[in-house]
Structure 1
Amino acid sequence: MNETRRAANESRRPGSEGRRAAARITAAFTDAGVTGRLHALDIDTGATVSVGATTPEPTSSLHKVCLLATLYREAAAGRLDRTRQIEIPAEARTPGLSGIALMRDSVRLSLRDLATLTVAVSDNAAADVLWQAVGVETVNRTMAALGLRETVAVHVMADIQHLLTAERGRLADPGDVGELSTLSVLDPARTNRSTPRELTALLAAIWRDEVCGGELGTELRSLLGGQAWTHRLASGFPFDDVSVSGKTATLPTLRAEAGVVEYPDGGRYAVAVFTHAASASAILPAADAVIGSAARIAVDALRAL
């Protein structure tokens, strides 16, 4: 099926379709009160739809995909046992709003179960245990080995939380969007970063078994399919026979998600969307929903090729 789709794509001209989709996506961002960047990639044909896709963005929780890809690549190389159990005392955890950060007693979990929580509920405490086990430099070396030179980790989740709290507390008006833009966690030059294009390249590598194959590749994809949140990317694909795997990220004024959309005919599409709102409000349903609607426009365009 994928070979048939690739051959069909090669016989058509994707440029005009992609340009029309990009214009519609930009209009959707404007209607939602955000500025946005997007990259969508047909994993099997290489066709793309792009809106500012090479611009670096702060990744925050999206870097958990890089972390898990490295965890499984290290496991595939025999340098790490993903079933290794780790004791995590209650007093030695990164604060958070989900997962083991909310638990009151000591827990013992394997690395892969910590990875499950890291995706399923964006558990920052679980993620930081993995960051310690895998290593920031190992993640950066892995991204470089995959050709993702602009995908760089600087901070673990505890660092991001600390910087956000400290710097926001020094602002004269923490609700002012202009002042918020000065936060280091929103500056890709000073924090974890990537581009929409590189994030889709990473996801495509995971889905093509280029990060790791066999049982490990299947398990990694299964983890990324376990996210509980459906209000962003998945909201654009409300079909029982279409699956969406992804990871969200949220910072003041920034909402993002990167993931893979899979259709029953074999179509596989990696999509990364970043939006920046003109409001500091924590609840902006339109800014969340446009991630899904923009992704749907892009995927529909790729499927029309």
Structure 2
Amino acid sequence: MSAGTERLLGELRRDLADGGLRGSFLVRDLETGEEIGIDPDVPFPVASLVKVPLALATLERMRRGELDGADAIEIPPGRMTTPGPTGLSRFRHPARIAVDDLLYLSTSMSDSHAADALFDLTPPSAVEAFLTRWGLSGLSVRHTMRELTETPVERFGSADTHLAYALAVDAGTRGRGHRVPQLDVSHANSGTARACVDLLQAVWRSRQDPPGTDAPVIHPEVAARVRDLMADNVVRHRLAPDFATDASTWSSKTGTLLNLRHEAGVVEHADGRSYAVAALTESRVAARVQPGADALMGQVARRLRDELRARWAPHG
């Protein structure tokens, strides 16, 4: 590692600490495999990032003919009233929705109620089995999204929500355990920034790697649909401001739970370069709304990408 890179990483670590964040970041050049990161192998509960492997498994089963995307599923109302959940999670009445449309709601809108309808068809153990078959490790899929609606936030009254966030900040252990089960990496759906980038690389490179390579084999049609779903992500306030431009596209999935703020995606530049980016963070500030933390995540991820891009540019 060069002295310049060491200085950059030290500066970014200080910026994260000053902003009240602990973070795990990894940026990888999808052409060369070169990468740069901050603690990329530290496990985190991944929250809604698990909806990407869920989409992959569902689409693979559709491709095999085990599921029909046109089949309509009866969805009970979510009736969620706490801040955050979207889509069916807030419906007050039953609805019938096709499996194919549930994929859009789950992945692009991060609708956890839609995701659980998909998990009813392909349970967590089956999703993890697909990841193993594709040669992807480091992501543990242990439970549905329903468990994420049973945190201390739902137990406290609205006037005491800050107590739930204080518990999230203060009740962890050095071994990544936690008194809140959804924040305990041994209990939650969990993974590392490296595992997220490996997954993204498998999805994006499936259109390029010829048969016989050692790369994980995700069917090109499955990968293409997931890329489209991630390109349609409606949550654009976190990393998108630092990566989406007229000369680049940003496709991603976010994950949010109590003091956790994550995003993993791929930025594709008009010059043909593509970079997979994973940012997994936990806040030390006991507050739900932290726009500064979202902005800081994007700034750190962009500066890591800029460092990789600068290494390539002189040879481009």
**Contact 1:164–1:185 (CA<8 Å) still a contact in 2?**
no
1:55: Cα distance to partner? 1.1
Aligned-residue CA RMSD (Å): 2.5
**Contact 1:168–1:183 (CA<8 Å) still a contact in 2?**
no
1:206: Cα distance to partner? 0.6
Match of 1:78 among 65, 74, 97: 65
**Structure-2 residue corresponding to 1:44:** 31
Q: 1:22 to 1:145 in 2, by over 3 A?
A: farther
Percent identity for Structure 1 against Structure 2: 32
Question: Are 1:105 and 2:102 matched, yes or no?
Answer: no
**Structure-2 residue corresponding to 1:128:** 116
Match of 1:178 among 138, 161, 170: 170
Counterparts of residues 156-305 of structure 1 (less than 5 Å): 156-165=144-153, 173-176=163-166, 177-179=169-171, 182-209=179-206, 210=216, 212-305=218-311
1:45: Cα distance to partner? 0.9
Corresponding letter in the other structure for 1:174: A
Q: Which moved more, 1:249-258 or 1:193-202?
A: 249-258
Corresponding letter in the other structure for 1:199: C
**Structure-2 residue corresponding to 1:4:** none
1:128: Cα distance to partner? 0.4
CA distance in 2, matches of 1:66, 1:266: 26
Q: 1:17 to 1:86 in 2, by over 3 A?
A: farther
Q: Which moved more, 1:104-113 or 1:18-27?
A: 18-27
**Contact 1:71–1:82 (CA<8 Å) still a contact in 2?**
no
Give the TM-score taking structure 1 as reference length: 0.86
1:184: Cα distance to partner? 1.3
Question: What is the DSSP-based 3-state SS (H/G/I as helix, E as strand, rest coil) of the residue aligned with 2:252?
Answer: strand
1:16: Cα distance to partner? 5.4
Q: Which runs of 5+ in 2 are unaligned?
A: 173-177, 207-215, 312-316
Deviations 1:87-143 (A, max 9, x none): 2233xx484731112223332222221111112221010010011111111111112
Corresponding letter in the other structure for 2:270: P
Question: Are 1:147 and 2:147 matched, yes or no?
Answer: no
**Contact 2:244–2:267 (CA<8 Å) still a contact in 1?**
no
Q: 1:293 to 1:89 in 2, by over 3 A?
A: same
Q: Which runs of 5+ in 1 are unaligned?
A: 1-13
CA distance in 1, matches of 2:231, 2:132: 25
CA distance in 1, matches of 2:144, 2:276: 25
CA distance in 1, matches of 2:24, 2:179: 20
Runs of 4+ in 1 over 6 A off after TM superposition: 166-169
Corresponding letter in the other structure for 2:302: R
**Structure-2 residue corresponding to 1:35:** 22
**Contact 1:22–1:49 (CA<8 Å) still a contact in 2?**
no
